[in-house]
Amino acid sequence: MKTKKLWFSAAVNLLGLLFLVLILKPCFEMNDDSTIYELTGGAKGVYDAHGVFLHLFLGQAMKLLSGLFPGIQWYTALQYAVLFCSFTAVFYVLMNRMKPAMAAASFGVLFFYFGYEGYIILQFSKTSGIASCAGIFLMFHGLEQKKKNWLCVSCGLLLALVGGMYRYKEFLMCAAMMSSLGVYTLFRLNWKRSRELFYTVLAYLGSFLLLFGSFGGLLLFQSFAYEKDEAWGEYLRYNDSRSSLMDYGFPDYDTFQEEYEKLGLSREDIELYRSGNYADPDLFDSEAIETLLSLRPKKELNRSFLLDYFDTFPLGFLNLYVFSCFLLLCFFWLFFGKKTWKEILALGYGAAVIGGIYAYLFYIGRYLVSRTETALWLGACLLVLWLLEKEKTYFSLRTAAAFCAFALVFQLPSWKEQMRGEKKEISNQMKINQEYLQLAGADREHLYLAKLNTLTTFSAYGPFDVIPYDSLTNLWKLGGWESGNPTEKAVLESYGVTNPYRDLINNPKVIVTDQDVKETLRYLREHYDPDVKAYLIKDINGQSFYVFRSLPFEPEKETGIRDADKTMRCEVQIGWGKKNLTVSGTVYQENTNSYTQMVYLSMKQTETGEKIYYPLTIAQAYGVEDLRNGRFGSVSGTISLDEYGISKEAYEEGVWEFGILVENENGVWRGEIS
């Protein structure tokens, strides 16, 4: 391996990486990455090697590094290391195949597209594909030499395997694309019998058999390790079925209404599940999923399919950001590439591979998805660059620099959304969401059940933010692919919950974050309790927290009620409307956590002694920043007069007595209405 070129390639890539992260703000493309980090990074109180989509070896590496150096976000750090090695390998190969200026121009175009997609819009499937393509590219370079460069082959093989460990399906797709280089190599071999031909064929076959044999071994180990662990094996089988249903669609409800009704599922239930909130192990279990999968009709491979396919492609490729990079490099080949039958057949083979892959993706109904297809086009770009005439000088270094500068300027509008300073409001919102996750995480008395896209680490932590260890052991999502895995189940079990939907009703330990409470109420009433009601107990910066009950609130069962002392701040007013009673004011006790308090309007009927406790909504008090001294001391509520048989006249006549009840870390306190 030519060390000077290697170090130069690494230096250029380091400068490119620094440039990108200085002007652009990295983010996770999907919440899958933040979820994997939750599992492997200790947020649930354990460093778990089960990344589900990632190989256990990667999970073990993250587990070990997180335990040794918990101040570093190792999930992102390892991906950046893999991406850096990948881009360094690509530039190293280009420098060895081309004159410096042409290599710089070619790599500059590649980097501005795929460096942005890899480093800035981070997603583990893209990392997998980029590493797989780069590793195989480096292997072909090492094998192409007359005197085989086995160090290049070994490094490429290792890099490709790491790509496969991030997502095996992505590796297989990219390997199929990179096989175009193998076909081109076959065309260029001198097929006259000779010792040299024998050793060349043996080198290629041996290297790639070792690659795919090792890859198969990794898959077997992964399968064996999950099956050996009964709980994880059961979860993995469930998740595979669930993923197939969620990713490729539910059967049409009208067509299969009878089958749905046999499963006890209504049209509204399916809409709830489609939104990702399907964490009901009694109704949406493995048996129900398999039944639904069996109902889903298969696409027929007929004339209609072909017409639909060609109606979508190739114009549909324009929806992919990196496709324009491929078009640009095709112009390179048109002007500067070899154009014998060998190159044309190699390009034709590559086009056939892409067409075949997209035909399969179109058939299963999951296509034009950037995170899974970006690396496929990297492979296509590398094929085009492989076909350029190596020895000719097309650009001077100055021209190459100008060309790269032009390519950069062309890219800037596409990067606008990720420019640092462009999304200040999003950054501020992330800080707010992060704080509320920390507040909820500190409230260990309660289990927080979160509807998807409410209380999530994806909206609170960036790729380089470290989620504090053990900070989410009381947070559980009502859906998402992680639902039901052993680590997540342990969270539920610690609060005595087995079915989160059923067991959230009348459970004083459970709080739900919800942005569509009517949908949740409908589901609970239809399947578990027709009398359940939702009570908004916290409304914090747009985040709504509910409890669901069909039984009366009885806070005094937990402990005796004490009269408020001088540390209690209770300034509450009531207002009378025609149909409702409104309550507003400020309630908190000095030096207690105002976020975790529960505040009730106490309504006592003087003749019978009957007491009713209605939970009031806690919100942030204006201009107060001290958590332990009233930051969340603002309270409000609206009570239906008809529902409780209350009237202003009865209150003024003394039939009803109102008061305030506060539950906090010091006990239960009684305050008076102002």
pLDDT band at 302 (very low <50, low <70, confident <90, very high): confident
The number of domains in the chain is 3
Query: Side chain identity at 476, as an amino acid letter?
Result: W
Pair (174, 43) in one structural domain: yes
Rounded to whole angstroms, what are the CA distances from 503 to 73, 107, 135, 506, 528? 35, 56, 50, 8, 9
The pLDDT tens digits of the residues spanning 607-664 come to 888 889 999 999 999 888 899 999 999 999 999 999 888 889 988 888 999 999 999 9
**Residue 304: inside a domain:** no
Total Cβ atoms within 10 A of residue 197? 13
Query: What's the mean pLDDT in 235-249?
Result: 87
The pLDDT tens digits of the residues spanning 199-216 come to 888 999 999 999 999 999
**Phi-psi region for residue 276, left (φ > 0), alpha (ψ -120 to 50) or beta?**
left
Q: What is the mean pLDDT of the chain?
A: 90
Rounded to whole angstroms, what are the CA distances from 237 to 124, 234, 285? 21, 5, 12
| pLDDT for the residue numbered 491 | 87
Pair (153, 52) in one structural domain: yes
Alpha helices in 455-551 (DSSP H): 486-493, 500-503, 517-527
pLDDT at 552 over 80: yes
**Residue 266: inside a domain:** no
Closest by CA to 495, choosing from 484, 485, 504, 487, is 504
Of 99-103, 177-181, 229-233, give the range with the top mean pLDDT: 177-181
Pair (411, 432) in one structural domain: no
| pLDDT for the residue numbered 246 | 86
173, two tokens: 């797709």
CA angle 453–454–459, rounded 5-degree value: 70
pLDDT at 558 over 60: no
DSSP string for 400-422: HHHHHHHHHHHHHHHHGGGBTTT
**Residue 268: inside a domain:** no
| pLDDT for the residue numbered 425 | 67
Query: Facing residues of 612 across strands?
Result: 603
Are 381 and 329 contacting, i.e. CB atoms less than 8 angstroms apart?
Answer: yes
Closest by CA to 238, choosing from 537, 489, 611, is 489
pLDDT at 557 over 60: no
Domain closes at, from 549, 579, 607: 549
CA distance 157 to 193: 28
DSSP class of residue 662? E
The pLDDT tens digits of the residues spanning 389-436 come to 776 667 777 878 887 888 888 888 888 888 887 666 667 778 888 888
DSSP string for 146-212: SS--HHHHHHHHHHHHHHHHH-HHHHHHHHHHHHHHHHHHHHHS--S--HHHHHHHHHHHHHHHHHH
Pair (528, 573) in one structural domain: no
More confident residue, 249 or 224: 224
Pair (520, 578) in one structural domain: no
CA distance 128 to 585: 55
Mean pLDDT check: name the lowest of 552-561, 628-637, 661-670.
552-561
302, two tokens: 């007929």
Domain closes at, from 371, 386, 418: 418
HSE of 226, CA atoms in CB hemisphere, 13 A:
25
Pair (40, 123) in one structural domain: yes
Q: Could you list the residue range(s) of the whole structural domain that residue 518 is in?
A: 425-549
Are 611 and 604 contacting, i.e. CB atoms less than 8 angstroms apart?
Answer: yes
Break the chain down into helix, strand, coil percent, rounded to 5: 55, 15, 30
The pLDDT tens digits of the residues spanning 26-80 come to 999 988 999 999 888 888 888 888 888 899 999 999 999 998 898 899 999 999 9
* % of the chain exceeding 70 in pLDDT: 97
Mean pLDDT check: name the lowest of 86-95, 118-127, 359-368, 504-513.
359-368
**Residue 366: inside a domain:** yes
Query: Side chain identity at 609, as an amino acid letter?
Result: G
> Do the strands 510-513 and 533-540 form a parallel or antiparallel pair, or are they unpaired?
unpaired
Query: What's the mean pLDDT in 139-165?
Result: 93
H-helix or E-strand containing 251?
none
Query: Side chain identity at 585, as an amino acid letter?
Result: G
CA angle 623–625–628, rounded 5-degree value: 130
Pair (167, 66) in one structural domain: yes
Alpha helices in 387-536 (DSSP H): 397-415, 424-442, 486-493, 500-503, 517-527
In degrees rounded to 5, what are phi and psi of residue 28? -80, 135
Are 41 and 467 contacting, i.e. CB atoms less than 8 angstroms apart?
Answer: yes
Query: Side chain identity at 517, as an amino acid letter?
Result: V
Taking each helix axis from N to C end, the angle separating 341-364 and 370-386, rounded to the nearest 10 degrees, works out to 170
Residues in Cβ contact with 584 at an 8 Å cutoff, skipping those fewer than 6 apart? 572, 573, 575, 635, 636, 637
618, two tokens: 């806690």
CA distance 342 to 348: 10
Domain closes at, from 379, 395, 418: 418
CA distance 414 to 338: 32
Closest by CA to 400, choosing from 112, 102, 99, 94, is 102
Pair (528, 583) in one structural domain: no
Are 492 and 500 contacting, i.e. CB atoms less than 8 angstroms apart?
Answer: yes
341, two tokens: 């039958």
CA distance 175 to 152: 17
Are 135 and 90 contacting, i.e. CB atoms less than 8 angstroms apart?
Answer: no
Query: Side chain identity at 364, as an amino acid letter?
Result: I
More confident residue, 347 or 190: 347
Pair (116, 101) in one structural domain: yes
| pLDDT for the residue numbered 392 | 66
**Residue 388: inside a domain:** yes
Are 540 and 620 contacting, i.e. CB atoms less than 8 angstroms apart?
Answer: yes
CA distance 200 to 206: 10
Pair (434, 407) in one structural domain: no
Query: What's the mean pLDDT in 353-367?
Result: 91
Are 471 and 486 contacting, i.e. CB atoms less than 8 angstroms apart?
Answer: no
Pair (50, 158) in one structural domain: yes
pLDDT at 175 over 90: yes
Q: What is the CATH number of the domain that holds 622?
A: 2.60.40.730
| pLDDT for the residue numbered 423 | 66
CA angle 408–389–114, rounded 5-degree value: 30
Sign of CA dihedral 523, 529, 530, 533: negative
Pair (45, 168) in one structural domain: yes
| pLDDT for the residue numbered 598 | 93
| pLDDT for the residue numbered 596 | 92
H-helix or E-strand containing 246?
helix 230-248
Count of residues in the chain: 674
| pLDDT for the residue numbered 21 | 93
